[in-house]
Amino acid sequence: MSYQEIDAKMLSKMFLAGAKNLESKKEYINELNVFPVPDGDTGTNMTMTILSAAKEVTALGENPSMEDLCKAISSGSLRGARGNSGVILSQLFRGLTKVIKPYHSLNVAVISESCEKAVETAYKAVMKPKEGTILTVAKGISDKAKELASEGVTDLEVFMEKVLEHGKYVLSQTPELLPVLKQAGVVDSGGQGLIEVISGAYDALLGKEIDYSSLEQESDAGQKPVAEAPEEAEIKFGYCTEFLILLNKNFNIKTEMDFKAYLESIGDSIVCVCDGETVKIHVHTNDPGLALQKGLKFGQLSNIKIDNMRLEHEERVQKAAEKSVEKPIEKEEPKQPPKKVGFIAISAGDGLSEIFKSIGVDYVIEGGQTMNPSTADILDAVDRVNAENVFILPNNKNIILAARQAAELMTDKNLLVIPTKTIPQGITAVINYMDGSSVDENEEVMISEIAKVKTGQVTYAVRDTVIDDKEIKKDDYMGVGDNGILANGKDLTEVVLETVAAMADEDSELISVYYGSDVSEEDAEAIRERIADAWPNLDVELQNGGQPIYYYLVSVE
């Protein structure tokens, strides 16, 4: 069956099929990460972005209007956007839906125009667009769509087949545009993700059978329950479930992200923290057994605690009613007037979070290298800070776009993004804030000061590769600097020292070392002493960061 036009019902199916296909390929996309570090997350970020929109699309039912469908796709992806790839994907959807929203049905000409708008919108969202990325693949797709429309192609199956074929070709050429991809022997991961979305949509157009059940489960988890009774309406998931997993198999960052995604599909209020040997789980769900069964796949369960929150709520309501008879309800304390300036930092690791709080940060969003918070997470954090102007410190280059997107969506506060790419830069930014200066003056000073901070992050390689002309073997230790690999080898201490040596120069004054959750205080102190001996004229500070994945964060100022 060929199509000259598609309606909102078909477009909804195609979008959900694209989301489903991306979800099924996310691990493959994660593995395309250029740097062989254990936190490749492009596939995860793009998947969580599109699933945020899929929840809203599914909630519309089987026969949505084009306008409602476009709103769901655009708002859902914008608020759910995570990481650079997720933000760019959300901007592509934003541009696409701007064009198609007024139409009842879509033909080749309209879709071609919407593709052009999508690319224009995405390029504008990136301050310094780089070719050889998802943007290049999107532009190639748009150019092919425009070409086919001008040639008079009207059959949508033919149109999508040729667009997809050309998109795959452009993707295959990304290593020729970015030498770092060619050296690593991979195509761009974000571009691969976009191709998976379009491939899934094309399958739906062809009428292939697609299992949407996991997307429906995601959607159900995000919908508001029917309000049958006041006390029930406030509790979406009835059982507070906590337990420990005593690990008997590898539980890496990819496994952790997948486990979190599963918990989000059956509940909310998720906590999933791994310390290497055990995993602490907390989830509010209507079926605790599902969470426990999933946990059993990774080891033995311990410290299981399940509370019926609905019963507890009823007891609290009853007690509150009894107390209200005894004495009148006290008036709520008036909210304090907002202060002029507040700070939000994004950080992974208890130690790092405490450091930020100790220097004046109002709210810390858990995340960073191991999990990029969404635009919605950032907006929620801003709501929690009672200030007219809020500085946000992303502390990761893959979170800056989501923070800027949040700033665009913010309406009642002035959200200012200080483009910190590392934790040490974030700490430096806060320290250099001056109470007596204006918001604009402080913004200028902080941006200037973070440029003086050099950062090295020491982790391990998850695969063999060649990058920055360095041959890296799986499980090698690596020192990753601001612009590439600084050191690699089999000895952790030597890699740390080589990383510092690559950053320190005659103008350096201070070396700060933050040790991670997998490093003992004794070993960290030994590293500090080696650094102090090697650079006797510099101050060397050691602090417990508690960060996952990265054994050491080292900054030189």
3-state DSSP assignment of residue 347: strand
Res 232 pLDDT > 70: no
With beta carbons less than 8 A apart as the criterion, state whether 363 and 346 touch: no
The CATH number of 6-216 is: 1.25.40.340
3-state DSSP assignment of residue 426: helix
Nearest to 367 by CA among 96, 48, 93: 48
Res 430 pLDDT > 60: yes
Per-residue model confidence as pLDDT tens digits over 281-321: 878 888 989 999 898 988 888 878 888 877 766 665 565 55
pLDDT in the model for residue 297 = 87
Res 33 pLDDT > 80: no
Instruction: Write the DSSP symbol of residue 544.
Output: E
Confidence of residue 422 (pLDDT cuts 50, 70, 90): very high
Cα angle at 147 between 142 and 150, to 5 degrees? 125
| Rounded CA separation 312/31 (Å) | 45
pLDDT in the model for residue 332 = 46
Res 551 pLDDT > 80: yes
Domain 339-450, CATH class in plain words: alpha beta
* Greater pLDDT, 279 or 37: 279
Domain 454-556, CATH class in plain words: alpha beta
Task: Tell me the two tokens of residue 480.
Answer: 């990753």
| Rounded CA separation 332/329 (Å) | 9
| Rounded CA separation 136/139 (Å) | 5
Sorted by where each begins, the domain ranges of the chain are 6-216, 225-326, 339-450, 454-556
Q: Residue 302: beta bridge partners?
A: 244
* Greater pLDDT, 46 or 236: 46
* Greater pLDDT, 129 or 6: 6
pLDDT in the model for residue 224 = 33
Confidence of residue 3 (pLDDT cuts 50, 70, 90): confident
Confidence of residue 233 (pLDDT cuts 50, 70, 90): very low
What's the burial of 26, exposed, middle or buried (CB within 10 Å: 0-12/13-18/19+)? buried
Per-residue model confidence as pLDDT tens digits over 450-476: 999 999 999 998 878 888 778 888 889
CA 60 to chain centroid, in Å, comes to: 25
Which segment of 33-37, 153-157, 373-377 scores lowest on mean pLDDT?
Answer: 33-37
Nearest to 408 by CA among 46, 87, 159: 87
Nearest to 199 by CA among 173, 155, 164: 164
Per-residue model confidence as pLDDT tens digits over 135-152: 999 999 999 999 999 999
Res 188 pLDDT > 50: yes
Res 484 pLDDT > 80: yes
Nearest to 214 by CA among 459, 427, 22: 22
Per-residue model confidence as pLDDT tens digits over 217-231: 444 333 333 323 333
Percent residues over pLDDT 70 in the chain? 87
Nearest to 338 by CA among 384, 406, 404, 376: 384
Average pLDDT over residues 433-445: 94
Q: How far from each other are the two terminal CA atoms of the chain, in whole angstroms?
A: 65
Per-residue model confidence as pLDDT tens digits over 354-382: 999 999 999 999 876 557 899 989 999 99
Strands (E) located in 289-404: 299-308, 339-347, 363-366, 387-393
Nearest to 529 by CA among 496, 489, 553: 496
Helices and strands in the chain: count of H runs, count of E runs: 23, 18
Res 4 pLDDT > 60: yes
3-state DSSP assignment of residue 523: helix
| Rounded CA separation 102/114 (Å) | 12
pLDDT in the model for residue 274 = 65
Please state, rounded to an integer, the average pLDDT across all residues of the chain: 86
Nearest to 494 by CA among 507, 481, 476, 509: 476
| Rounded CA separation 177/169 (Å) | 13
3-state DSSP assignment of residue 307: strand
Please give the torsion angle defined by the CA atoms of residues 467, 471, 473 and 476, in that order, rounded to the nearest 10 degrees.
-80
Average pLDDT over residues 433-454: 95
Nearest to 11 by CA among 160, 165, 163: 160
pLDDT in the model for residue 327 = 45
With beta carbons less than 8 A apart as the criterion, state whether 134 and 194 touch: yes
Of the options 3.40.50.970, 3.30.750.24, 3.30.70.1150, 1.10.10.10, the CATH number for the domain spanning 225-326: 3.30.70.1150
Confidence of residue 326 (pLDDT cuts 50, 70, 90): very low
Secondary structure (DSSP) of 189-217: HHHHHHHHHHHHHHHHHTT-----HHHHH
3-state DSSP assignment of residue 22: helix
Please give the torsion angle defined by the CA atoms of residues 489, 493, 494 and 496, in that order, rounded to the nearest 10 degrees.
90
Res 423 pLDDT > 80: yes
Strand-pair category, 539-544 with 510-515: parallel
Instruction: Write the DSSP symbol of residue 326.
Output: H
Per-residue model confidence as pLDDT tens digits over 102-135: 999 999 999 999 999 999 999 988 878 889 999 9
